[in-house]
Amino acid sequence: MKAVIQRVSEGSVTVDNKVVAEIGQGLVILLGIAPGDTLQLAQQMVEKIAHLRIFEDEDEKMNLSALDVGAEAIVVSQFTLYADTSRGRRPSFIAAAKPDLAEPLVESFAHLLTDQGVPTQTGIFGAMMDVALVNDGPVTIVMEY
């Protein structure tokens, strides 16, 4: 499981000219699922993300978590995080999980994050999505479990 976590001042996902997710201060999380990934792994990653101290305190130090600042999140399924570019010029995505595994894990991940106390929205699995965000900082963290 791979995640690109971006601290944002605002973010949204649009599908077919309709906004399907929109947040203010929070996290936009691009999430890639691999064939061996499990719900337990998702729970571990969610726990880490919810408590990750990447928001600034009054001294402008990154000491606060998404929970501390009342942040929201958007989770976007991103199979391209598993791109293999080692051969040729066209990426291979065979390391990404098939939709029948990936879709329920992405949904579970989002629900688990909400259960942790971070209100979470999602894009639409498998859709062509326009993801817009204002990266705050910029702060971008890559996490892999």
Spatial neighbors of 41 by CB under 8 A, at least 6 apart, are 1, 145
Longest dimension (CA), the chain: 49
CA distance 93 to 25: 32
Give which of 110, 129, 126, 93 is closest to 26, Cα–Cα.
110
Which residue in the list 78, 120, 121, 122 is annotated as catalytic? 78
CA 118, 102, 22: angle at the middle one, nearest 5?
35
Q: Is 79 a catalytic residue?
A: yes
Which residue in the list 79, 116, 121, 122 is annotated as catalytic? 79
Q: Is 80 a catalytic residue?
A: yes
Q: Is 25 a catalytic residue?
A: no
Q: How far is CA 132 from CA 24, 57, 64, 87, in A?
A: 12, 25, 24, 31
- Which residues belong to the active site? 78-80
